[in-house]
Amino acid sequence: MASSVKKVPVRRVTLDEQLSKVPRHFSVEGDLLLSHLTAGLSALFPEGEEFFVRSVRRYRDRVRDPVLARQVAGFIGQEAVHGREHRVFNDRLGDLGYPTKSFERLTGRILRLLERISPPIANLATTAAVEHFTATLAEVVLTSEDGDFPGEGGQFKEQAVRDLFVWHALEESEHKAVAFDVYRAVGGPEWLRIWTMKMVRVGFVALMVVQMVVSLLKDRASWKGGALRASWSRFRSAPIMQREVWHALHDYDRRGFHPYDRDTLALEETWRERLFGAEGTMSSYVRGWVA
């Protein structure tokens, strides 16, 4: 699909009230590993998304294509709203005893160090690579949360957490090519794009594993006999742990790859209608809308 036709609308969603009441184990069947994985991902978002915005904004005045320029504005708006809502969720997780706020601060420090030591084009390459990560995870979420009710085949038991993640996943899918297209438009080389993904893959997985281990150690529920083992057998069959997800992440290493090679338009349309259409389940949470 040509980038020239895809819109990136900014929906000013607010889930603050609902997120402030989330219980400690919010994943389906109160699962330990999935709850801690979700908390770990959420910890990365606010600072990560601010870094993406800074990396893309740095090149904004070099984007000549007016359609891509509008998509950049949409991308910045969408990421700003995601960051705000994930901070609210992270505050709640912090109150529940998760080390989420420490991880949020650590992520910020790592990314600011990265910005000091690497050139802007490398930060844009990192952004494009992580955006492929989020787009791949978004596809997993939108596909596996396909039931009408929380927990129906998916990973979230709590409606507010499910709303946060499916809305975020929809928008990650909608803007999945923006950072990539800016990188191309400003002449970012293929070798740097592919090399950066190799680094990001290792760094991202290592960071998630460390986060999950620390987070689980702090949770008394992990120390109950058999709790972790039972969770691990469920976790291994979770959609996010399937081999295809790893293959989809590696697609990015191919020379000539473009995020639209993987067609998610029908999936996005289904969820746009389901969440924000005439009878959208999240329409009432939208405080404003920039098309």
Complex with Fe ion: residue 79 or 104, whichever CB lies closer: 79
CB atoms < 10 A from the CB of 229, how many?
Answer: 8
Complex with Fe ion: residue 79 or 181, whichever CB lies closer: 79
Please name the residues in contact with 105: beta carbons below 8 A apart, sequence gap of 6 or more: 47
Q: Which stretch binds Fe ion (CB under 5 A): 10-18, 120-128, 132-140, 206-214?
A: 132-140
Site for Fe ion in 133-152 (CB under 5 A): 134
Q: Does 87 bind Fe ion (CB under 5 A)?
A: no
Please name the residues in contact with 17: beta carbons below 8 A apart, sequence gap of 6 or more: none
What is the nearest approach in angstroms of Fe ion to the Cβ of residue 263? 18
Number of residues located near Fe ion, criterion CB under 5 A: 4
Complex with Fe ion: residue 31 or 172, whichever CB lies closer: 172
Site for Fe ion in 52-81 (CB under 5 A): 79
Complex with Fe ion: residue 42 or 134, whichever CB lies closer: 134
Q: Does 36 bind Fe ion (CB under 5 A)?
A: no
Which uninterrupted H or E stretch holds 86? helix 66-95
Tokens of 270: 């289904």
Which uninterrupted H or E stretch holds 13? strand 10-13
Complex with Fe ion: residue 81 or 121, whichever CB lies closer: 81
Separation CA 129–CA 195 (nearest Å)? 10
Separation CA 42–CA 45 (nearest Å)? 5
Q: Does 82 bind Fe ion (CB under 5 A)?
A: yes
Tokens of 182: 């800016």
Q: Which stretch binds Fe ion (CB under 5 A): 15-23, 86-94, 129-137, 183-191?
A: 129-137
Separation CA 73–CA 68 (nearest Å)? 9
Q: Does 132 bind Fe ion (CB under 5 A)?
A: no
For 40, 87, 128, 164, 214, the CA distances from 103, given in Å and listed in that order, are 8, 12, 22, 19, 10
Q: Which stretch binds Fe ion (CB under 5 A): 58-66, 141-149, 171-179, 274-282?
A: 171-179
What is the nearest approach in angstroms of Fe ion to the Cβ of residue 174? 9
What is the nearest approach in angstroms of Fe ion to the Cβ of residue 114? 17
Residues lying near Fe ion in the complex (CB under 5 A) are found at: 79, 82, 134, 172
